[in-house]
Structure 1
Amino acid sequence: MDRRKLALVLSVITILVVSSTSVIFFFGMTEDDTINFYVFSDSQGYQGGVEQIVTAANLNRPDFIFHCGDLTPFGQENQYQAIKTVLDRSIVPVYTTIGNHDLKDGGGTLYEEYFGISTYSFDLGPAHFTVFNTSTGDITSQEFAWLEHDLTQTEAEFRFVFTHFPPFDPRTGENHSLVNSTSSTQLISLFEEHEVDVVFTGHIHIYNETVVNGVKYVITGGAGASVYADEDNGGIYHYMNVTLNEDGLTIEPVILNTPSLPRDVVAVRGLIEDVTLSLDDLLLMDPVTGYSSFQNQYDNWRGHGTYTGIAISELVELVGGMTVNDTLVVRSFDGYAQEFSYSNVYPNATWAEIQGPMVLAYTYNETSVLDWADGMRLVMIPPDGEYSNIDAIQTSEFGDVISAGALWVRFVSLIEVISG
Structure 2
Amino acid sequence: MGDSRDGKGPSSVLQKEMKEINLLHPDFVVHIGDWVGYPSREGWENFLKVMEIGKVPYHLVVGNHEVSRNWKDWYTLYKEMIKKPLYYSFKYENCSFIVLCCYSEKNGKTIGGKIDKKQLMWLEKQLKKAKNSDFIFVFVHEPLYPVGGHIGSSLDKYPEERDKLANLLRKYKAVVFCGHEHLYNKKVVN
TM-score (norm 2): 0.85
Instruction: After TM superposition, list the pairs within 5 Å mapping 1:5-404 onto structure 2.
Output: 40-45=1-6, 46-104=10-68, 106-115=73-82, 116-135=84-103, 136-154=112-130, 155-171=132-148, 174-178=151-155, 179-196=157-174, 198-213=175-190
Counterpart Cα distance in 1 of 2:97 and 2:126: 10
**Which 4+ runs in 1 deviate beyond 4 A?**
none
Deviations 1:170-218 (A, max 9, x none): 249933421211121111111111111x2011111111111111xxxxx
Return the letter of the residue paired with 1:185.
D
1:414 match: none
Gaps of 5+ in 1: 1-39, 214-420
Return the letter of the residue paired with 1:110.
L
* Kept after mapping to 1: 8 A contact 2:148/2:181: no
Counterpart Cα distance in 1 of 2:50 and 2:186: 28
Identity of aligned residues (%): 30
Higher mean C-alpha deviation, range 163-172 or range 148-157:
163-172
Q: CA deviation at 1:47?
A: 2.3
Counterpart Cα distance in 2 of 1:96 and 1:186: 24
Q: CA deviation at 1:56?
A: 1.3
Shift in CA distance, 131/172, structure 1 to aligned 2, threshold 3 Å: closer
Q: Which has the higher contact order (CA 8 A, sep 6+)?
A: 2
* Kept after mapping to 2: 8 A contact 1:100/1:137: no
* Kept after mapping to 1: 8 A contact 2:142/2:180: yes
Counterpart Cα distance in 2 of 1:203 and 1:128: 23
RMSD over equivalenced CA pairs, Å? 1.7
Instruction: Point out the structure with max Rg over C-alpha.
Output: 1
Counterpart Cα distance in 2 of 1:77 and 1:173: 27
Counterpart Cα distance in 2 of 1:173 and 1:78: 28
Return the letter of the residue paired with 1:147.
L
Q: CA deviation at 1:51?
A: 0.9
Shift in CA distance, 100/91, structure 1 to aligned 2, threshold 3 Å: same
